[in-house]
Structures are given as structure tokens and as C-alpha cells.
Amino acid sequence: MVCFGAGGHARVVLDALSLIGREEPVEIVGLICETATSQSVLGFPVLGADADIAAISQRHKATHFVIGVGSVRGGSTLRPQLYGLALSVGLEPLTVVHPSAVVSPSSTIGHGTVIMAGSVIQAGTRIGNNTIVNTRASIDHDCRIGDHVHIAPGVTCSGNVAVGCGAHVGVGATVVEGLTIGDGATVGAGAVVIEDCASGSTIYGVPARVHQSR
């Protein structure tokens, strides 16, 4: 497999893969990155830029990929673009679940999604494709998390929360039960969300209020 990205988020993904590989071998042939500042990351070589993915995959006989690029706000298109690019050259997305995560057997995890260390995914939750559930995030029962979402470290989503495609829920935010975070919305770090958040809006504070709308 190949990993897109060569920064901090990529290193965390690579760590998770190394732990998974102790029980189920995963061969990482290298990293794909436009702006890498070194020739290798954690011992894995940087193989080239995004545009070279087809040639790199063929040369190294890669079959799968993972996105090791994070996001800092809603509406970011880089992760979806990389996901689509990899699919277009015939690679399959690898779903990564850190061994320390607690994932209910009645939950559903989409293709290419990464569940980081210490996360909890409770019963009946559905998580889409190419989504990040970051370190120690808690997603309670029957939540619906869309594609290309970033649930940042320490987030708490109570039961029956819906998070739309491309949304970003910032570090340590709390979303009370039954609310909807719209497509492409941004929830600021530490926010306490007590009402629905419209698509494309930015919401932060305690309690959270809308401060910008696209």
C-alpha cells in the first residue's frame, strides 16, 4: 500500500499501521507527497508527488492506499481529491482501526476511514468513507458521520448526532444528543454545541453560536 502525506498526521497513521501489522501484515511501499521536506518518514521513502501515483503504483505493485493528510477546517477539498485520485488509478482504500480503539460490532466503518488510538465508536453508529475519528474521540450510539469528515482529538458526540460530509469538528468539542452538523461546517475547538449547525457555517463558543456562513 501507499500513504498520501508525509507530515504529522501521516506519522500517526503509520504508527497505527505498524501496530496492526503485528497481527495482519501490511506492506507499506512508501509515501506520496507534494511538499515533503525529507526523503523518508519513519523509515518509509517518499516516492513522489500526487500526479505520479499511477506510475508509482505500477512500479511498486501497490494495491491499496490510505490518506495520511489531516484537515483543520470544514470544506477542505484536499482529502476528497486525493481519495478520488487514488480510486481513479485502481487502488483500493484501506480502513485503519488502531488496536486500542473500542468499536462496537454493530457499528459500520466506511472505506478508507481511520480510527485513531483510544477512540470509542458505540452501537449503531455509521461512519462514512475517508473519515478521520481522531485520538480519544467518543462517538456514541446511532450517530451518522458522513464522508470526508474530521472528528478531531477529544471530541464527544452524544447519541443520534449527524455530521454531514466534509465537516470538521474541532479539538475537544462537545455535541449534545440528536443534533445535526451540516455538510462542510466547522465546529471550533472546545465548542459546546446545543443547536443544529447549518451546512457551510462556522460555529464556536460556549454555548456555540454561528459566526460565519458560506
**pLDDT: is 145 or 26 the higher one?**
145
Question: 175 near 193, Cβ under 8 Å?
Answer: yes
CA atoms of 74 and 146, how far apart (whole Å): 12
Nearest to 145 by CA among 163, 125, 166: 163
- What distance in Å separates the CA atoms of residue 92 and residue 83, rounded to the nearest whole number? 10
Continuous segment of H or E residues that includes residue 87: helix 78-88
Active site residue 9: no
What's the rounded Cα separation, in Å, for the pair 158 and 197?
A: 15
The three grid cell numbers given for residue 20, joined into one nine-digit string: 496492526
Mean pLDDT of the chain: 92
Query: What's the length of the chain?
Result: 214
Asked whether the predicted pLDDT for residue 214 surpasses 70, the reply is no
pLDDT in tens, 186-200: 999 999 999 999 999
**Hey, what long-range contacts does 22-27 have (CB within 8 A, 24 or more apart)?**
26/1, 26/94, 27/1
101 pLDDT tier (thresholds 50, 70, 90): very high
Instruction: Enumerate the β-bridge partners of residue 162.
Output: 144, 180
Check 9, 98, 111, 141 and give the catalytic one: 141
Tell me, what DSSP letter sits at residue 50?
G
Residue 74's pLDDT is 54
